[in-house]
């Protein structure tokens, strides 16, 4: 019931907000309140969750379409609960940011954001392949409009590429869902067995590779992350991309052991290539959005390296890094948004010198940046180290690539920090550009606080993600 409530609360709030003709501020405030309630509900859920026991918890199953074996089946594993937690926190911060900047047409905007939150939570909770597909697709409906209506100047081109890429992936997945469900005679992820059909596997793998995105399926990423409103970009890169991680875990790795074995080499190479390529592009990007966007590509490559190492270290590291990256990229995109609001541009060459007279902003950006570049002792370092140790078992070459990625991350994050904070004040940086306002601080501070807390205690996530802390066995047993 709690799981269902967690899905329905934002959706119901979205409907109420869409229908009630309230004044602007009240609409946005109500949406923010609903998002905060969702965070509260998640805390209640986490309190009820027994991390020691592992396995599927807080599950509900209702028959939906019996004749095809489709059910409404939801529940949480340790790792999906963490992913959900970070999703509700990030979406609350994003909705708060939209409230702060006063987005136009607030009823439509906030209804869509809350609906998106509900769809993301449903994706993380889905234990039925069809329900998973439904929520996975449902995310696209609000995103299409959110980017297309509230985005930047080239928003229409951005939505088009985004939708073409993701729908191509999703429809391949639909074919795979049908084929898998019909051959298994059930769509339930809990009851179905494994499959050794390479084509079905590829349908899923490509869909998730597009969503993540993974090199070379990232064509939609630069334009979409640049043109979306910053808080929507935050939601996209922080939590929507993590649904692909969830899909890789519960569907690809758990249901297709043999094809995974055949394709591990290829996927690891692509993920490694994505890591290096994304890092290089982030280093060369001329604007803030570009850096954060391509670093997202790199980090997703890193996460996938960990997943497909298919051992305890790699999987734990992948989940930990997913949680950490969600918080970081959300923080970064929100900070980028705040810079763009002050300076009217995110081009690095017109920025600079913002540290002078803006101590709060400088501190927050520096702290977030330090976590992002995986300073030893940070949660990202813990995650990347686990992944590096995990892929080392697959071959030292992969570990070397991960190490290279970490070095490159330091380079592009430091470049971002120095380009914004240091050097001479840029053309677009005026004296009137204020330091972070209390409202803005209240949005990013919780995210940074979560990051610091996890840096202090990364085991909170990494040791409670899979039952008995044996992720590889949990996966090979298909979560049973």
Partner 1 sequence: MIETPKVDWLALSPVLALLGASGIALLAAVLVPPWMRKTVSAVSVFAGFVVAAVFAGIVFDDTPQPEILLSESMARDQLGALAQLILAITGAAVVFAAWSERRRRHDAEYYSLLAAAGAGMMFFVQAENLMTLFLGLEWFSLCLYILVAIDTERATSLEAGLKYVIVGGFGSAVLLFGSALVFGATGELGFAQIAAAEAGDDAFLVTGLAMILAGLAFKVSAAPFHMWTPDVYQGAPTSVTAFMSAATKTAALVVTIRVLVTAFPDESQIWTIAVAVIACVSLAWGNLAALAQRDVKRILAFSSVSHAGFMLIAVAAASERGTEALLYYLVPYSAMSVGAFAVVAARERELDKPVTLEGLAGLGWERPFYGVALWIFMLGMAGFPLTGGFFGKLFVFSAAYEVGDWWLVLAGVAATALSLAYYLNIVRWLYMRSGAELRLAPAGGSPPRELALGVAVTAAIVVTVGSFFAAQPILDLASDAASSLPF
* Segment contacting partner 1 by CB under 8 A, of 67-75, 207-215, 249-257, 390-398: 67-75
Cβ neighbours of residue 339 closer than 8 Å, sequence gap 6 or more: 288, 346, 351, 354, 420
166-195 residues near partner 1, rule: CB under 8 A: 167-168, 171-172, 174-175, 177-179, 181-182
Q: Give the bridge partners for 71, in sequence order.
A: 63
Comparing CB distances to partner 1, the nearer of 203 and 301 is: 203
Comparing CB distances to partner 1, the nearer of 197 and 363 is: 197
Cα separation, 117 vs 137, in Å, equals 13
Residue 155 within binding range of partner 1, rule CB under 8 A? yes
DSSP state at residue 188: B
- Phi, psi (5° rounding) for residue 353? 65, 20
x-or-dash string of contact with partner 1, 27-66, rule CB under 8 A: ------------------------------------xxxx
Cα separation, 181 vs 320, in Å, equals 31
Comparing CB distances to partner 1, the nearer of 177 and 391 is: 177
Q: Give the bridge partners for 63, in sequence order.
A: 71
Residue 210 within binding range of partner 1, rule CB under 8 A? no
Cα separation, 29 vs 32, in Å, equals 5
Residue 226 within binding range of partner 1, rule CB under 8 A? no
Is 148 buried (19+), middle (13-18) or exposed (0-12) by CB count in 10 A?
middle
Choose, by CB under 8 A, the member of 134, 244, 298, 382 that binds partner 1: 134
> CB of 223: closest distance to partner 1 in angstroms?
15
Nearest to 228 by CA among 135, 113, 100, 365: 113
Cβ neighbours of residue 403 closer than 8 Å, sequence gap 6 or more: 388
> CB of 214: closest distance to partner 1 in angstroms?
20
The owner of tokens 């297309």 is 148
Q: What is the CA radius of gyration of the chain?
A: 21
With CB under 8 A, what is the number of residues at the site for partner 1? 36
> CB of 290: closest distance to partner 1 in angstroms?
24
Residue 144 within binding range of partner 1, rule CB under 8 A? yes
Comparing CB distances to partner 1, the nearer of 106 and 306 is: 106
Cα separation, 97 vs 340, in Å, equals 13
Cα separation, 353 vs 221, in Å, equals 29
Cα separation, 211 vs 252, in Å, equals 14
Residue 148 within binding range of partner 1, rule CB under 8 A? yes
Is 424 buried (19+), middle (13-18) or exposed (0-12) by CB count in 10 A?
exposed
Residue 22 within binding range of partner 1, rule CB under 8 A? no
Comparing CB distances to partner 1, the nearer of 33 and 145 is: 145
Cα separation, 372 vs 121, in Å, equals 25
Residue 202 within binding range of partner 1, rule CB under 8 A? no
Q: Give the bridge partners for 347, in sequence order.
A: 287
Comparing CB distances to partner 1, the nearer of 175 and 459 is: 175
69-88 residues near partner 1, rule: CB under 8 A: 70
The owner of tokens 């470049």 is 415
Residue 67 within binding range of partner 1, rule CB under 8 A? yes
Comparing CB distances to partner 1, the nearer of 107 and 358 is: 107
> CB of 117: closest distance to partner 1 in angstroms?
15
Is 382 buried (19+), middle (13-18) or exposed (0-12) by CB count in 10 A?
buried
90-109 residues near partner 1, rule: CB under 8 A: 105
Comparing CB distances to partner 1, the nearer of 147 and 318 is: 147
Is 18 buried (19+), middle (13-18) or exposed (0-12) by CB count in 10 A?
middle
Comparing CB distances to partner 1, the nearer of 135 and 192 is: 135
* Segment contacting partner 1 by CB under 8 A, of 75-83, 137-145, 208-216, 448-456: 137-145
> CB of 109: closest distance to partner 1 in angstroms?
11
Choose, by CB under 8 A, the member of 50, 102, 156, 157 that binds partner 1: 156
**Interface residue list for partner 1 (CB under 8 A):** 63-68, 70, 105, 130, 133-135, 137-138, 140-141, 144-145, 148-149, 155-156, 159, 163-164, 167-168, 171-172, 174-175, 177-179, 181-182
């Amino acid at each position: 019931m709690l799981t269902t409530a967690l899905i329905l609360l934002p959706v119901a709030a979205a409907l109420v907000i869409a229908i009630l003709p309230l004044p602007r501020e009240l609409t946005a405030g109500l949406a923010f309140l609903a998002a905060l309630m969702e965070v509260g509900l998640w805390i209640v859920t986490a309190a009820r969750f027994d991390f020691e026991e592992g396995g599927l918890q807080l599950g509900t199953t209702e028959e939906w379409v019996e004749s095809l074996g489709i059910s409404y089946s939801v529940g949480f594993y340790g790792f999906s609960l963490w992913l959900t937690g970070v999703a509700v926190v990030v979406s609350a911060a994003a909705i708060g940011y939209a409230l702060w900047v006063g987005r136009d047409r607030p009823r439509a905007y906030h209804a869509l954001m809350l609906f998106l939150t509900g769809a993301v939570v449903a994706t993380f909770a889905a234990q039925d392949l069809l329900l998973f597909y439904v929520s996975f697709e449902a995310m696209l409906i609000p995103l299409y409009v959110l980017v297309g209506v509230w985005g930047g100047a080239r928003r229409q081109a951005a939505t088009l590429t985004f939708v073409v890429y993701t729908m191509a992936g999703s429809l391949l997945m639909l074919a795979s869902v049908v084929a898998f469900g019909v051959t298994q005679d059930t769509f339930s992820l809990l009851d179905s067995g494994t499959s050794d059909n390479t084509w079905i596997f590829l349908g899923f793998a490509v869909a998730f590779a597009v969503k993540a995105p993974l090199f070379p399926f990232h064509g939609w990423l630069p334009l979409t992350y640049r043109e979306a409103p910053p808080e929507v970009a935050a939601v996209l890169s922080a939590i929507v991309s993590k649904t692909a991680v969830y899909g890789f875990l519960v569907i690809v790795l758990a249901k297709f052991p043999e094809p995974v074995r055949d394709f591990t080499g290829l996927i690891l190479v692509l993920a490694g290539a994505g890591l290096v390529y994304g890092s290089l592009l982030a280093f060369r990007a001329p604007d803030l959005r570009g850096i954060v966007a391509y670093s997202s590509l790199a980090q997703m490559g890193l996460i996938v390296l960990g997943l497909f190492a298919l051992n305890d270290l790699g999987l734990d590291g992948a989940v930990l890094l997913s949680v950490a990256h969600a918080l970081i990229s959300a923080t970064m995109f929100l900070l980028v948004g705040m810079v763009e609001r002050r300076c009217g541009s995110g081009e690095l060459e017109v920025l600079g010198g913002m540290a002078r007279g803006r101590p709060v902003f400088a501190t927050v950006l520096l702290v977030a940046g330090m976590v992002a570049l995986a300073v030893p002792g940070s949660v990202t370092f813990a995650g990347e180290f686990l992944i590096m140790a995990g892929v080392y078992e697959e071959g030292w070459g992969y570990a070397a690539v991960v190490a290279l990625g970490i070095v490159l991350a330091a380079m592009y994050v430091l470049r971002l920090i120095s380009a914004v904070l240091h050097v001479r004040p840029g053309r677009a940086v005026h004296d009137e550009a204020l330091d972070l306002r209390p409202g803005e601080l209240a949005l990013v501070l919780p995210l940074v606080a979560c990051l610091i807390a996890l840096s202090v205690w990364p085991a909170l996530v990494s040791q409670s993600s899979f039952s008995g802390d044996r992720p590889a066995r949990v996966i090979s047993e298909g979560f049973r």
